[in-house]
Amino acid sequence: MPGGPLAGGNADSRKDLMGLTRAELTTEMEQIGEKRFRADQIFNWIYFRGVTSFENMTDISKGMRAKLDETYRIGRPEIVTAQVSRDGTRKWLLRLADGNEVETVFIPEPGRGTLCISSQVGCTLTCSFCHTGTQAWVRNLTAGEIAGQVMMARDELGEWPTPSDDRQITNIVLMGMGEPLFNYDNVKAAVDLCKDEKGLNFSRRRITLSTSGIVPEIRRAGAEMQVMLAISLHAVRDDLRDILVPINKRWPIKELLAACRDYPSLSNARRITFEYVMLQDINDSDADARELLRVLEGIPSKINLIPFNPWPGSNYGTSDPDRVQRFGEIIRNAGIMATIRRPRGSDIAAACGQLKSESERTPAWKRRGEEHPRA
């Protein structure tokens, strides 16, 4: 590749318009003496048509296109590898402009297709069953890098301009690497871009944010983002959840569930998903299932049982399929919806909790561009 392995976007000093919201793009255009309609035109080309070069913006004069091209670019994360699983799941390893890497996964199913996107490089949290949790946190993704994953996937699936129906990507889940609510502002800006009706045009009901339970930000997200919520619950007793999801020590189950109860516009049609990883002999007994029903009483919920996906060096076992079935039955018998997540893309390590980029071979301080901590 010209300019060496990390060239990516580094060699290009033009400002990247990717990730600017409609309001930010308007301000940007004002700064170069352009009016609002120019921003609207460009917004449409970038987020509705998926264009990455000003040259293709055919309703803008040639002179103006050249001027824009001198000052700006429209970036995409660089695709390092693109893998397709036997079951059709796709996984992309993406390299960002500074050389850091993240993963994005597309899961096609009959009648729907879910894109799982990352919000951070690594994660500050250390959930004991999660592979990403063993990777040091490096940095937050920018809004452009988060929305850029959706745009990259649309490029790859040939899904421009934004289709009004018959889409391949019908749903977006913030369930990749990182804790989205620890990168609130950028996630909010990216969600706004995904929701823009004249751009990527995803309904807020088709965007799900998964969190380990950052209580104040759950409340904020309810007020400001109104996306669907998934909570990584995984345990119904604080002593166990303290180990599995250590942020529980800061916001224990009771506080977490209080924030869930208060989440706006919950109804039978708009339920909170509770994710529950099934760990053999740890949290998978009949008593656990009954306790789960008890603690969720009164919250419009659905439960997503996730058979634990092992990774090299993990210390947990996956519950037997019979155990998972039985656990699900207890929940369904009480009238609560319970789905069992089939592991997808396991042959390409694309399943939940398996995401961990190759860039972790480089120490975190180096990836942050810092001096050696002991230097």
Residues annotated as catalytic are 103, 352
Q: What are phi and psi of 253, to 5 degrees?
A: -50, -45
CB of 45 to ligand SAH, least distance (A): 32
List 17, 105, 115, 127, residue binding ligand SF4 (CB under 6 A): 127
85 near ligand SF4 (CB under 6 A): no
Q: Choose the stretch contacting ligand SF4; rule: CB under 6 A; options: 128-136, 186-194, 222-230, 359-367.
A: 128-136
253 near ligand SAH (CB under 6 A): no
Q: Choose the stretch contacting ligand SAH; rule: CB under 6 A; options: 17-25, 161-169, 210-218, 280-288.
A: 210-218
> Binders of ligand SAH among 120-149, rule CB under 6 A?
127, 129-131
Q: Choose the stretch contacting ligand SF4; rule: CB under 6 A; options: 22-30, 49-57, 63-71, 123-131.
A: 123-131
Of 72 and 129, which has the nearer Cβ to ligand SAH?
129
Q: To which residue do tokens 């018998």 refer?
A: 333
List 26, 89, 104, 132, residue binding ligand SF4 (CB under 6 A): 132
> Binders of ligand SAH among 337-356, rule CB under 6 A?
352-353
Residues 18, 78 contacting (CB under 8 angstroms) = no
175 near ligand SAH (CB under 6 A): yes
Ramachandran quadrant class, 276 (left: phi over 0; alpha: psi -120 to 50; beta: rest):
beta
Task: Give the Cα separation of 339 and 325 in Å (integer).
Answer: 10
CB of 123 to ligand SAH, least distance (A): 6
Tokens linked to 165: 């129906």
Task: Give the Cα separation of 140 and 143 in Å (integer).
Answer: 9
Q: Across-strand partners of 72? A: 15
Task: Using DSSP bridges, classify how beta strands 207-211 and 171-174 pair: parallel, antiparallel or unpaired.
Answer: parallel
Peptide bond into 5 cis (omega under 30): no
CB of 10 to ligand SF4, least distance (A): 27
Task: Using DSSP bridges, classify how beta strands 90-95 and 78-84 pair: parallel, antiparallel or unpaired.
Answer: antiparallel
192 binds, among ligand SF4, ligand SAH, none (CB under 5 to 8 A by kind): none
Q: Choose the stretch contacting ligand SF4; rule: CB under 6 A; options: 84-92, 125-133, 146-154, 336-344.
A: 125-133
Q: What is the DSSP letter of 264?
A: T
Tokens linked to 20: 């600017």
3-state secondary structure 313-371: CCCCCECCHHHHHHHHHHHHHCCCEEEECCCCCHHHCCCCCCCCCHHHHCCHHHHCCCC
List 309, 319, 357, 359, residue binding ligand SAH (CB under 6 A): 309
Number of residues that bind ligand SF4 (CB under 6 A): 11
133 near ligand SF4 (CB under 6 A): yes
Tally of CB atoms within 10 A around 250: 11
- From the list 217, 149, 155, 153, the residue with the least C-alpha distance to 188 is 217
List 92, 202, 308, 327, residue binding ligand SAH (CB under 6 A): 308
CB of 56 to ligand SAH, least distance (A): 35
Residues 151, 196 contacting (CB under 8 angstroms) = no
> Binders of ligand SF4 among 212-241, rule CB under 6 A?
212, 232
Residues that bind ligand SF4 (CB under 6 A): 123, 125-127, 130, 132-133, 178-179, 212, 232
